[in-house]
Chain A
C-alpha cells in the first residue's frame, strides 16, 4: 500500500505582513527625509520616540521572549552614556565612535551582571538587576573626573565636530546644532531599524524558536536540547549592547549627564515597562503601538506632574489584569493580523491549518 506523502512547507509570511512591508519601506523613506521637512522641535520629539522604542523593543525581547524580567536596564543606559562621556571628555573621541565604544563596554558590563543576577530567579532576579543598576550608579557617582554626583556636560565642540556634521553643513546648509540634531535623529532611526531587524530575524531563526520554547517551558525546551542558559545569556548580552548604544546616543543629544538622570528607574525602566505592557508584551508590534500611546499620553498630561505617572501605573495594572497581551494583543486576537509574523504555520498538508490563536507566536 502506498501513500502520497504531502509536501509541507513552513511559512511565516502572511498577507498582512507583505502589505505592511511595503508600507514600512515607504514610511522609512519618509522618516529619513524628516529633518528636511519638519522643524527641529519635531525632530527632537521623534528622536525621543525612536530611542524609547529601541529601549522598549529590548526590554520586550528580554522579558517577553527570554523570560528575563529586568527592572535594571537603566544600568546599561547609564553605563553606556557614561562610557561615551568618558571617551569624549577624557580621550577626545568623536561622539559617534564613542557611542559604539559604549555598546562594547556595555557588553563587558553585562558579563558580571549576568553572572550575579542569573543566580536569582523570578522576582528576585528583577530586584537583583535593580540592585546592580544601583551599584553601577553609586560607583560612577564617585568618578570625579566626570562630575561625580552632580554630573557634567559635553564640550560644545564635541557635538559640533561630530562625524558627518561638517558634511551636512556644506551639503545641506544646516546650522551646526540643527545638523547634530539631524545626525542623532538619523542614528536613532538606523538603530530602530537595526534593532527591529535583529529581533525579527532572531525570532524567525532557529534560535528564536528555541527562545520561544524556553520562555514557554524551560524544562521541556532543555529536554529537546535547547541550551536555555546560553540562550538567555546571549539575549541578555545583545540587549545590553543595544541598550548601551541607545543610552549613549540619548546622552549625545542631551549633552548633559548626571548619575541620577542617567540611571533613573522612572525614565529608563518604568516608562519602558509601561510602553511594552500597554502596547503588548511578546510581540514586535506591541512596543511600537505602546510608544505611540505613551507619547500621546505624555503630551496630554504633560502639565499634571505626578498624575501622569499615576495614570500610567493604573493603566498598566488594568492592562496586565484584563488584557495581558496588551492593546496590540487585543487587536491582533480579534483580527488575526500580524505585521511582523513570527508564528510558523504549516502549509501544504491535508489539514492546511489556518491561523489559530496561540501565545506570542
Chain B
C-alpha cells in the first residue's frame, strides 16, 4: 500500500466531507438545529443538477451555478415556513419533523427518479490528474478540497466581518434581544438555511461527479457530515475541515486494508474520537 497516496486521497476526500458538513455546522451554530434531512437535501441538489445537465445540456458547473439560487430559495422557504415552527425548548419537534422530511424527500425522489444509481458526468475532468512527485492527485478531488477551504474562508468572513454575520451571531446568542436590535430572527434563520443550501449545492456538485448516487444516498452523507462535525468539534468551521480530513483518511486507510472496511473504519475513528474527546478535537470554548 502506498501510504502517501492513501493519505493524500484521504485528505482530499476530507474536503468533500467538510463540504457536506459545513452547511450542517452553520445551521447548528446559528439556531441549534440539526437537520436530519441534510444528507437528503444534498442528494436533492444533486438530482437538480442532474436534471439541469440532462434537460438543458449544460456543463455541470454551470448547472450548479443555476441550481444554487434555486436551492437557496428552497432552503429559505423550508426554514421560514416549516422548520421555524419547530424551534423552541423542546428537542423533539425539530428532530422528528426533519426526520419526517428526510423520509419524504427520499421517497419523493424515488417516485420521481426511480431507484437507479445516477452520475453527473464532468467529461474529461473526471479522470484528469496532476503529478505531485511520488503521488498523483485527481483534479476533481483537488478542486473539491480547495473549494472546501474557499467555502470555509468565505463563511468565516461572512460571520465575523459583516453586518449579517453579526446578526447571525447575535440571534444565535439571544433571539429576543436580537429583535430589540431590529433583527427578525425568523428571517435570519431562513437566510442561514438558504445559505447552507448553497453550500449543499456545491457539495452536491462534487458528490454527483465523483461517485454514483441514488435517492437513498442521503442518510450516509448525513452521517459523514455529522461525524466530521463531531470529530472536529462543535462551533468551529475549521474544526469541521479537520474532522472531515480525519474521517477521510481513516476511510481510505481502511479501504486500503480491505475495501469492505472503508465505511466501518470511518465509524471506528469517529467512535475513537468520541471516546477520548467527547467535545471534539477543536471545540469552541463557549457552547
Contacts and interface: CB of A to CB of B under 8 A. Distances in A.
Given A116-B271, A120-B274, A317-B104, 11 more contacts: A69-B91, A71-B99, A123-B91, A128-B230, A130-B223, A135-B264, A142-B260, A265-B219, A281-B92, A309-B106, A321-B85
A126 interface: yes
Given A63-B92, A138-B264, A320-B93, A127 B100 contact: no
A122 B91 CA distance: 7
Interface string B96-111: 1101111110111011
Given A116-B274, A139-B264, A313-B103, A123 B230 contact: no
A130 B111 CA distance: 25
- The 5 A-B pairs of least Cβ separation, nearest first, read A123-B34, A313-B103, A306-B107, A313-B104, A119-B278
Interface of B: 33-34, 36, 82, 85-86, 91-97, 99-104, 106-108, 110-111, 219, 222-223, 226-227, 230, 260, 263-264, 267-268, 270-271, 274-275, 278
Nearest to A277: B96
Choose among A119, A132, A314, A317 the residue with the greatest number of B CB atoms under 10 Å from its CB. Answer: A317
Given A119-B278, A139-B264, A321-B86, A307 B92 contact: no
21 contacts: A69-B95, A71-B36, A116-B271, A116-B274, A116-B275, A119-B274, A126-B95, A127-B226, A128-B274, A131-B223, A270-B99, A309-B106, A310-B103, A313-B101, A313-B103, A316-B103, A317-B82, A317-B100, A320-B86, A320-B97, A321-B82
A181 interface: no
Contacts of B110: 305-306
Given A273-B99, A313-B101, A135 B34 contact: no
A321 B93 contact: yes
A314 B92 CA distance: 16
Contacts of B34: 122-124, 126-127
A330 B66 CA distance: 45
Contacts of B101: 313, 317
Contacts of B222: 127
A312 interface: yes
A206 B270 CA distance: 38
Choose among B94, B99, B270 the residue with the greatest number of A CB atoms under 10 Å from its CB. Answer: B99
A299 to B, nearest CB: 18
A228 to B, nearest CB: 15
A321 to B, nearest CB: 6
A134 B226 CA distance: 14
Contacts of A277: 96
A307 B111 CA distance: 7
A120 B230 contact: yes
Given A281-B92, A310-B111, A313-B107, A135 B223 contact: no
Contacts of A138: 263-264, 267
Contact of B97 (A127, A270, A321): A321
Contacts of B91: 69, 122-123
A150 to B, nearest CB: 13
A135 B100 contact: no
Contacts of B111: 305-307, 310
A270 B223 CA distance: 16
A309 B94 contact: no
A116 B230 CA distance: 13
B230 A124 contact: yes
A86 interface: no
Interface in A124-149: 124, 126-128, 130-132, 134-135, 138-139, 141-142
Contacts of B92: 63, 69, 281, 320, 324
Contacts of A309: 103, 106-107
Given A126-B36, A131-B223, A134-B267, A310 B93 contact: no
Nearest to A149: B260
A219 B107 CA distance: 40
Contacts of A71: 36, 99
Nearest to B271: A116
Given A320-B86, A320-B96, A127 B108 contact: no
A124 B103 contact: no
Contacts of B97: 316-317, 320-321
B252 to A, nearest CB: 17
Contacts of A134: 223, 263, 267
A123 B226 CA distance: 10
Contacts of A131: 223, 226-227, 267, 270-271
A120 B278 contact: yes
Nearest to B234: A124
Nearest to A324: B93
Given A317-B100, A321-B85, A321-B93, A310 B223 contact: no
Contacts of B94: 123
B267 A316 contact: no
Nearest to A139: B264
Contacts of A305: 110-111
Contacts of B106: 306, 309
Contacts of A119: 274, 278
